[in-house]
Amino acid sequence: MTSRTRHGRRLEDFRREIYLCSRCNYCRGMVRARDATDLVCPIRENTGGFDAFTARGRNMIARGILEGKLDPQEATSEFVDALFACTLCGSCQEHCLSLDPDTWDLFPNNKFTDHKIDALGIAESLRGIIIETGNPPPAIRQVLHNIQLHGNPEGKPRSKREEFLEQLDFQVKKACEGKCSSLLYLGSNASYNQRDQKIVEAIAKLLHIAGVDFCVLGNEEEDSGSDPLRLGEEGLFEELATRNLALFKKYGFKNIICVSPHDYDALINDYPAFFENEWGKLNIKVQHYTEVLADLVKHGKLKVRKTSGTVVYHDPCYLGRINGVYDAPRDIIKATGAKLAEMRSSRRNSYCCGGGGGGVWYEALHKPRLQNQRAKQACDTGAEILAVACPICAQMLEDGLTDSGNCRMQVLDVAEILLNACI
């Protein structure tokens, strides 16, 4: 599982890690056939391959800034494009073999599992510097502007945030209407994208069938701040996180069920780091919805009829590699009786869909289109259904399959697959 940086660190705080980078090239082109790690950096594979697109290159640039050899004010548009092309998928950090000198005496028994170089944190800090200089890509600037003014990346009205839930054949309770133990945290992307709304509807229906006491925040819901933080706008993250903390305190939730792995990551990693003891006092259990649904199936709260067919599952970077949730989605698929196939690059080696780190809004000049590559990998398995567990992955991979032409595979969220087996 890839480690996450402590919130609030500046580039200077990564100095030791930056100097630990040996420029060994493993984050660019590591080849280890025994566990299919030859595709470490999907951006590098689908662009010109220049160092600026990779963790090694970013570490070298960060070192130049720290040593006063490079002036961020003079950053070229090419560097800015390469920096924001990164999807922050964490694969480079997961497979980095740099060792802390304090562990050298363990050689050759080092386990290479400590992820000593926080490649994600360094990239986010570099983005923060570019944001401070006022020179981010226009698309990124617009996304941050929309979140600042409207509370969502699309810039759509807050009043429409949960309007789509009104079409369900049961009423979804709002937190302001009565106490509930579990908050279904919809997130900004799933609230406004029509494809993703279907995922939320499936989750809500399953929780309703299982008798879970849950509610939504409705128009009160705030963006988690995950995207601003990943894009380098730490101040906006702090504003959003502070407002969310007040909401969670106000309603006294015991559990939060996240739809998006990116919101899940923020709540279990960035919020505790930012709020420290204040967050711990809330004693809130945060789960991704696949963990909740898998538990409901396991304990017989959801009756599942057996289905047929072959399903291949795509591990979302921020659910799997970043936070170690691999089995719950697979357990759900297996419970339906479907045959579970695996892509060549799966679990910790999963290939990014291209939507993370701002990729769902920003396409680099080289047009890497990782979704096309991942869609092809899925089609090569011969499965009928490509299962996802992330709203962004659903958007990106449907787009990738559209471009693939001949492949007739259908993209379904794990919740949609389970709901079809419960009706």
% of the chain surpassing 70 pLDDT: 92
Alpha-carbon distance of 119 to 122, in angstroms, equals 5
> If you average pLDDT over every residue of the chain, what do you get?
89
- Residue extents of the structural domains in the chain: 11-136, 167-294, 302-422
pLDDT at residue 162, as a whole number: 85
Span 135-162, mean pLDDT?
91
The DSSP letter of residue 423 is: -
> CA-based Rg of the chain, rounded to a whole angstrom?
21
Position 14 scores a pLDDT of 86
Nearest to 405 by CA among 382, 372, 381: 372
Q: Is the peptide bond before 108 cis (omega within 30 degrees of 0)?
A: yes
Give, as one character, the DSSP assignment of residue 216.
B
Fold classification of 167-294 is Rossmann fold (3.40.50)
| Three-state DSSP class for residue 120 | helix
Q: pLDDT tens for residues 342-369? A: 998 899 889 999 999 999 999 888 888 8
**Which pLDDT belongs to residue 50?**
81
Q: Is the predicted pLDDT of residue 124 greater than 60, yes or no? A: yes
Residue with the bigger pLDDT between 264 and 26: it is: 264
Which CATH number, 1.10.1740, 1.10.3470, 3.30.1380, 1.10.1060, labels domain 11-136? Answer: 1.10.1060
CATH numeric code, 302-422: 3.40.50
- Answer with the residue of higher pLDDT: 107 or 417: 417
Q: CB of 360 within 8 A of CB of 352?
A: no
Give the pTM: 0.92
